[in-house]
Structure 1
Amino acid sequence: MKKIFKITGIVIGALIVLILLAGFIGYSRMSYKASNNYSKLGEKAEKLKVDGHEFRDLNKNGKLDVYEDSRAAIEDRVNDLVSQMSLEEKAGSMFITMIGMTPEGEPMDKPFMTSNPLDIMMTFMMPSSSEMLINRKMNSFNILHAHQANILARYNNNIQLIGEKSRLGIPVTIASDPRHGSEHNPGAALSTPTFSQWPTSLGLAATRDTVLVREFGNIARQEYLATGIRLALHPMADLATEPRWGRSNGTFGEDAQLSAMMTKAYVLGFQGDSLGSTSVACMTKHFSGGGPQADGEDAHFPYGKDQVYPGDNFDYHLIPFEKGAFPAKTAQIMPYYGIPIDQTDENVAFAFNKTIITTMLREKYGFDGVICTDWNIINATKMGDARAWGVEGLSPLERTKKVIDAGCDQFGGESSPELIVELVNSGQLTEARIDQSVKRIMRDKFRLGLFDNPFIDESIANDIAGKESFRKLGKMAQAKGTVLLKNDNLLPLKKGTKIYAEGMNEKELLNAYGELVDTPMEADVIVKRTNTPFEPRDEYFLESFFKQGRLYYSDEEKAEILSLISQKPSVVIVNLERAAVLTEIAAESTALMAEFGLSDEVATDLLFGVKKPEGKLPMELPSSWKAVLDQKEDLPYDSKDPLYSFGYGLTYPTQTISMTTE
């Protein structure tokens, strides 16, 4: 037995040594590659003084070029820059993808000690920062990390310095998905506690307050600017006409006119009346409307590739763009993954579809801004196959050509500029066509002032991001967007009410106005917070982050809620990511609220009348699962006998509020 233990110990020890050795070799190789890449960079840009003005000598030639001259017209600067760019530099500019950073705000080039799954994924499943920035000559990236504001700002400055040291000193555009809510989904939204916290787009729509939405955009703009984020990969102008769709919570609901109003206010808040050095550019998505997914399945996944129009309502989904995004002069547009079935001359996904991109977006609407594809539609990655719906049989090279021929400018989630170089060198694409797209991309960098100064003050980032006045307004919006669906003379609660609570992370906050008790038996009122039901899935990498499938509670889930709230007068607060079937819960509860990103602090204020729920539903709530199945994916408010109709919402009579409002 001792001999077996000894042999086992030797084997385990040998395995540990081999693992450590392999790790050391891998680390050394990555370190060497990074060092070699950085050695290719030039010097920092020196300052040039001309006619009493100071400029950055970005190409290090000792003289002032037109593209370096902030006094010159933007079109002249764009043309001068592009004329100096090599084909490889142009091709690199046409890609934007995820990039990693260390907890210290450094570029991610090699492994480091971490327990964060995102860090591990970015280290081993993505090209290194130096590879993309230097070898592939890319200069647009989206960040996924949610570090403190000063760390994000430091990262901006570090990566901008790399850009400055490149041959032409082209600055980096840093982009981000939404960061101001509580949802964390690497494929759609990033919870960032350092920023002020607001309701989702559904909650903003529930306020019906375009002034508030524009102010949200203005505040988010300031927080983005403080951390170096200059491109918002939002808003979503899609319509949630299909209640099962897992991305409904990123929309402004199912009504096209409401969505148009909200989209316009949102973009104006981020960009201002025109794009400038204090703007954050918006990439509004997903043209021509990504909501009518067949059976509600999301187009991130193969089973959700089809968008269908059984109600012949394609044009309805254009309204938020026609009356919202375009009048607000959105800088950029993103088409979705799906195939608009039988709406054009070929059933291929939007980004590959020339009728959608050129005939409609470019020619009909005259849009001349950047059109960027959604992420990962060209190449398979370690995270899965390419989402090349409708063109699965084409090679990555052929897909790339088809996207450019369709009229798109930039490839999201991809880092393969060598494909564009090959297409031009082989005569399949002209360099003049590439120049069209590169000029659009560079034009936005110039308009945003990145060529003149892409660096930011790290020391003030924490003072701006999450400023108390910003957080206060965010809390007000959370309350204003909460919808009171039912109230049988229970709310607002009286001071001193004994409460038993479930589903609250900070239930002790209830003690500020009431008394938290340990059992339902001791309580005067039961408060239950719950979420929208969904179907857990895990076949594909991102599936666990997308809430899809059923909108009804399972028998087990329903029994748990009903058995609790039937014991005493009860308040149920449901977080609506989609249009849940709440029929049985509504019948049993004494009061029912729908919220769209509500902190326990604000929930407590609402329960006791310190704040009032004022929201109106941005989509109808169906009365049954059958009603959901019978409705048509492209039509708004078409479920039979909805439990609560679009626009429904109660509030507290002013005279009954139990405590002084803030």
Structure 2
Amino acid sequence: MLYLSMKKNLNLPVALCLLGASCLIVLGAMTAGSAVTLLKKQPAADSSGIVLVKNANGPTLGYSTSSGIKILTVDGLSFKDLNKNGKLDKYEDWRLPVDDRAKDLAAQMSVGQIAGLMLYSVHQAIPALAGPFGRGTYNGKLFKDGGIDPAWVTDQQKEFLIKDNLRHVLVTTVQSPEVAAKWNNNVQALVEGTGLGIPANNSSDPRHSAFSGVEYTAGAGGKISQWPDQLGLAATFDPAVTEQFGSIAAKEYRALGISTALSPQIDLGSEPRWVRINGTFGEDPQLAADMARAYVDGFQTSTGSNEIKDGWGFNSVNAMMKHWPGGGPEEGGRDAHYAYGKYAVYPGNNFDEHLVSFIDGALKLKGKTKMAAAVMPYYTISYGRDVKNKENDGNSYSKYLITDLLREKYGYDGVVCTDWLVTADEAKTPDVFLAGKSWGMENKTVAERHYKILMAGVDQFGGNNDAGPVIEAYNMGIKEHGEPFMHVRFVQSAVRLLRNIFRVGLFENPYLDVENSKETVGKPEFMTAGYNAQLKSVVMLKNQGNVLPIQKGKTVYIPKKYVAPNKSIFGDVTPEKWEDAVKPELLKKYFNVTDDPAKADYAIVFVNSPNGGAGYDFEDTKKGGNGYFPISLQYGKYTATEAREHSIAAGDPTEPGITNRSYKNKSFMAANAMDLKIIEDTRMAMKGKPVIVTIAVSKPLVPAEFERDANGIVASFGVQNQAILDILSGAAEPSGLLPFQMPANMQTVELQAEDIPHDMLCYTDADGHTYDFGFGMNWKGVINDSRTARYVNRVAKPVISIKGGTVAIASTTAGAKVYYTTNGTTPAFVKENEYSKPFKAAKGSTIKAIAKVYGVDNSSMAEFKAGE
């Protein structure tokens, strides 16, 4: 790439002839006035058809010759004539404030163009897949048919980009950074030449998770930097690590053409059975808030020459925090992607704590961007939380939650985007993943759902490629409120959506340097930072007799790993299999290895958290049942004798007549119960020699089943096996802390409240260590440092005392209120449970007490049995 500085006396056409076909034009002061001039000879393009024009005192402009746009000059500065009218419109003037530009452009847009801007595409793989999820064709052919460039734009993408004016594309898998960059350039060239020249704002769900079998080599690059799962970031208890992740991930995203992250997931993980707890920052509101703030600051902040204004710039990625107002308190742990998990419940009356990670975290940044650019409500019906309209509809349909609470009470004017498919029709049974999730609005039309969402204050529809229903909703609004009202409403959303595209510089240059993308994504220093974070996230739970680290030269035995049969969301069935837990070639770099336990000094058993089911089985309904089952956090058979007699919420059109979702007295065994047997068999085979259990943790689990069979226990949260081996061998020291409680048994899981964190009886091991939130060990023993001082026992556990049958409860935290029960259940934070004075307790009654500071946190559970 050649750089040419254009000064007053340099003739532009001559300079272009000198440069030839590939150039970067640098424009300085060329005219004294403010006249708008269309360059008579436009700059030449590089081999891909992309032209770069550098302003001496402004941003570099990028455009494609195929788009048909031209360059305007004003006062010697260059601007893109995106609407091709030969004039410099406000939205084309990069010198103006973002809001001025967004308002000008929104005012020029038609209803159809704004409706397209409100769409967010279904998942798009690059190149397109042949299966049912993100299927795409190229001139009618599938990619697998051959002869197709993987960076081409699909037929379906062309249709929704041109016909439906869609500009927000959700990208899933990409073949390589090179292909991603070329595809981005092809998409941007296509939309740049259409209508008003609005660029595509491509997005991604999290894509930096580590793969267990991949080996890290210092100084080597990779496909993309690999970091622990979000729970693993939480386990570091270090927001600086999370901010570093955000900053690095943003640079890699921008190199892939991604400018919006559908993250972070900042739901409070207060319900231990919920399958999506692995994507959260754990169960503590203050830790979650600090991590959310760090994550968004890292993603959104540009510095130095990459900053455009107020921290936003060419390295910035819009962060979409999710899921408002917290998707964690799913009844029974069942997930709201399915009709059987549509209800979030609040038996503890603890709604306020679920907002802390939003209002004190992602909406209260330390950086100059101030707050997360976008928010996504969850699928759930936040049951009984609409205190104004008394509606029980999905969160995206709730005007109370979106407008009254988020926008008006908390002052949020960013983009609100629904979760995917909330406006589509649901399936015929409650257990279908690839179907609509229009909870509470199942019996309305698709257009009526769009209208309800618009009136709730939402700006965008996730997973909808079709502008038709949005325009229908607009016309419904005209009938009810008149066209001036609906026009203002549409423009309001358009400004919010455009703001996020302007702030990251896409209007000036949405194009990527392919070679730079290849060098940036997975560069060695990014890989090293990710691997170091993995090491910091590993939690050592047990180290009996200082059995760890394993001494150099020792011989280890590692049993095969059992992979349970699995049925995917598409219905594909994977049979059970046995495989190496760790690649032998990697293992031999650390230890001597044997297949004979008798010859081993140590055994290392690799297992996964218990796969305790989803809480529903449609086959049960064919036998006269209601379909509902317990979700288990243990490997062995579990019978839910302590479950609720009646569910808090129930009801869905797919299950007429079912008004109670209770699973009381039903049983379930984990699909991977074999993992427990492997631990037990290994213990027997080792005949008293040390057994180390390393668990890939995706949610809390009951350690009581296996703890006494293990001399050492290490928990990981989405890391490479190599990181675990570095810990076990002593190459690195464990420093991670538990981001949630580990329950003593399933009884305490059933008795806890879905919406209250820290409310379980935690497991205590043979060494007397309790696996509570914030517990972890290093080589010296239990960790007590600045991290535990900040986050653990922020609200102190109440002290229960009894004398002569009279119970007194005390809190040592200023401003805390104490709530209690005498029947062994978690106390709800309601007036009738509030402690005010000593009381009499019947012998044998179980007293539970929690201290709470509103809007901050609550303590862990204090438990006392009267008469003991």
SS of 2:179's equivalent in the other structure is helix
- Cα distance in structure 2, aligned partners of 1:274 and 1:299: 36
* Structure 1 position 367 matched with structure 2 position 412: yes
* Structure 1 position 53 matched with structure 2 position 130: no
- Cα distance in structure 1, aligned partners of 2:281 and 2:473: 40
* Structure 1 position 527 matched with structure 2 position 583: no
- Structure 1 residues 48-447: aligned runs within 5 Å: 48-103=72-127, 108-109=137-138, 110-114=140-144, 128-182=156-210, 194-272=223-301, 274-328=311-365, 329-344=371-386, 345-380=390-425, 384-426=434-476, 427-428=478-479, 430-447=486-503
Per-residue Cα deviation, 1:601-654 (whole angstroms, up to 9, x for no partner): 211111111111101100001121222112110111111243411111001139
- Cα distance in structure 1, aligned partners of 2:155 and 2:328: 32
- Matched to 1:565, the amino acid is R
C-alpha contact (below 8 Å) 1:176/1:231 kept by paired residues: yes
- Cα distance in structure 2, aligned partners of 1:55 and 1:508: 57
Structure 2 segments unaligned to the other structure (5+ residues): 1-64, 130-134, 213-220, 302-309, 366-370, 428-432, 562-580, 619-629, 638-672, 765-770, 782-868
Deviation at 1:101, TM superposition (A): 4.6
Query: Residue 463 and residue 67 in structure 1: after superposition, are their counterparts in 2 closer, same or farther (change >3 A)?
Result: same
Partner of 2:695: 574
After TM superposition, where is structure 1 displaced by more than 6 Å over at least 4 residues in a row?
A: 104-107, 537-540
Structure 1 segments unaligned to the other structure (5+ residues): 1-40, 185-191, 541-547, 655-662
- Matched to 2:468, the amino acid is E
- Cα distance in structure 1, aligned partners of 2:250 and 2:74: 33
SS of 1:389's equivalent in the other structure is coil
Candidates 584, 603, 609, aligned match of 2:705: 584
- Cα distance in structure 1, aligned partners of 2:753 and 2:353: 13
The 10-residue stretch of structure 1 (58-67 or 152-161) with the greater mean CA deviation from structure 2 = 58-67
C-alpha contact (below 8 Å) 1:42/1:166 kept by paired residues: no
Deviation at 1:336, TM superposition (A): 0.3
Deviation at 1:227, TM superposition (A): 0.8
Deviation at 1:50, TM superposition (A): 2.3
Candidates 773, 776, 784, aligned match of 1:646: 773
C-alpha contact (below 8 Å) 1:270/1:279 kept by paired residues: yes
Query: Residue 641 and residue 226 in structure 1: after superposition, are their counterparts in 2 closer, same or farther (change >3 A)?
Result: closer
- Cα distance in structure 2, aligned partners of 1:170 and 1:582: 54
Deviation at 1:464, TM superposition (A): 0.9
- Cα distance in structure 2, aligned partners of 1:495 and 1:108: 55
- Structure 1 residues 591-602: aligned runs within 5 Å: 591-602=712-723
* Structure 1 position 497 matched with structure 2 position 533: no
Query: Residue 171 and residue 604 in structure 1: after superposition, are their counterparts in 2 closer, same or farther (change >3 A)?
Result: same
Partner of 2:866: none
Query: Residue 373 and residue 127 in structure 1: after superposition, are their counterparts in 2 closer, same or farther (change >3 A)?
Result: farther
Query: Residue 99 and residue 641 in structure 1: after superposition, are their counterparts in 2 closer, same or farther (change >3 A)?
Result: closer
- Cα distance in structure 2, aligned partners of 1:287 and 1:642: 32
Deviation at 1:237, TM superposition (A): 1.1
Deviation at 1:103, TM superposition (A): 3.8
- Cα distance in structure 2, aligned partners of 1:577 and 1:318: 23
- Matched to 2:379, the amino acid is Y
Per-residue Cα deviation, 1:59-81 (whole angstroms, up to 9, x for no partner): 12222221111112222211221
- Cα distance in structure 1, aligned partners of 2:631 and 2:182: 41
Per-residue Cα deviation, 1:429-465 (whole angstroms, up to 9, x for no partner): 6121111001100011111111111111111212111
SS of 2:202's equivalent in the other structure is strand
Partner of 2:576: none
TM-score by length of 1: 0.85
Deviation at 1:530, TM superposition (A): 1.1
Per-residue Cα deviation, 1:580-604 (whole angstroms, up to 9, x for no partner): 2221221111100110012122111
Deviation at 1:565, TM superposition (A): 3.3
C-alpha contact (below 8 Å) 1:507/1:600 kept by paired residues: no
TM-score by length of 2: 0.66
The 10-residue stretch of structure 1 (549-558 or 469-478) with the greater mean CA deviation from structure 2 = 549-558
C-alpha contact (below 8 Å) 1:305/1:337 kept by paired residues: yes
C-alpha contact (below 8 Å) 2:126/2:179 kept by paired residues: no
Query: Residue 297 and residue 115 in structure 1: after superposition, are their counterparts in 2 closer, same or farther (change >3 A)?
Result: farther
- Cα distance in structure 2, aligned partners of 1:46 and 1:420: 33
- Cα distance in structure 2, aligned partners of 1:75 and 1:92: 20
C-alpha contact (below 8 Å) 1:98/1:144 kept by paired residues: no
Higher helix share: 1
Deviation at 1:115, TM superposition (A): 10
Candidates 491, 509, 527, aligned match of 2:586: 509
SS of 1:289's equivalent in the other structure is coil
Deviation at 1:145, TM superposition (A): 1.1
SS of 2:558's equivalent in the other structure is strand
The 10-residue stretch of structure 1 (332-341 or 380-389) with the greater mean CA deviation from structure 2 = 380-389
> Which structure has more RCO (C-alpha within 8 Å, separation ≥ 6)?
1
Equivalenced residue count is 595
SS of 2:323's equivalent in the other structure is strand
SS of 2:534's equivalent in the other structure is helix
- Cα distance in structure 2, aligned partners of 1:391 and 1:193: 45
Partner of 2:802: none
C-alpha contact (below 8 Å) 2:451/2:474 kept by paired residues: no
Deviation at 1:539, TM superposition (A): 7.7
- Cα distance in structure 2, aligned partners of 1:464 and 1:102: 19
- Cα distance in structure 1, aligned partners of 2:739 and 2:136: 41
- Cα distance in structure 2, aligned partners of 1:647 and 1:424: 50
Identity of matched residues, %: 39
Q: CA RMSD in A?
A: 2.7
- Matched to 2:777, the amino acid is L
- Cα distance in structure 1, aligned partners of 2:604 and 2:192: 56
C-alpha contact (below 8 Å) 1:107/1:158 kept by paired residues: no
The 10-residue stretch of structure 1 (193-202 or 283-292) with the greater mean CA deviation from structure 2 = 193-202
C-alpha contact (below 8 Å) 1:206/1:617 kept by paired residues: yes
- Cα distance in structure 2, aligned partners of 1:354 and 1:439: 20
- Cα distance in structure 2, aligned partners of 1:615 and 1:115: 48
- Matched to 2:272, the amino acid is P
